[in-house]
A = this chain, B = another copy of it.
Amino acid sequence: MSTYRIGVDLGGTNIAAGLVDENYCILKKKSIKTNLPRTAEAICEDIAALCRTLCDEANIAFDNIAHIGIGSPGIICRGVVNSAANLGFHNTPLADMVAKLTGKPVSLKNDGNAAALGELVAGCGKGKSSLIAVTIGTGVGGGVILNNTIIEGFNGAAGEVGHIIIEAGGRPCGCGARGCFETYCSASALIRDTKEAMIAHPESALHTLAPTLDDVNGKTAFDGMRLGDETATAVVDHFINMLAVGVSSLIQLLQPEIICIGGGVAAEGDYLLLPLREKVVAQTLAGADGMRTTIVCATLGNDAGIIGAAV
Contacts and interface: CB of A to CB of B under 8 A. Distances in A.
A277 B279 CA distance: 33
A256 B170 CA distance: 25
Interface in A134-180: 144, 146-147, 149, 151-161, 163-170, 175-179
A168 B181 CA distance: 10
Contact of A256 (B129, B154, B245, B287): B154
Interface residues of A, number: 61
A44 interface: no
Contacts of A167: 166-168
A281 to B, nearest CB: 10
Contact of A168 (B163, B245, B291): B245
A214 interface: no
Interface stretch (A74-82, A97-105, A195-203, A224-232): A74-82
For the complex of A and B, list the 8 residue pairs with the smallest distance between their C-beta atoms, beginning with the closest.
A155-B287, A153-B255, A157-B287, A177-B283, A77-B288, A155-B291, A82-B288, A158-B255
Given A154-B287, A155-B291, 5 more contacts: A77-B288, A157-B287, A157-B288, A165-B245, A168-B184
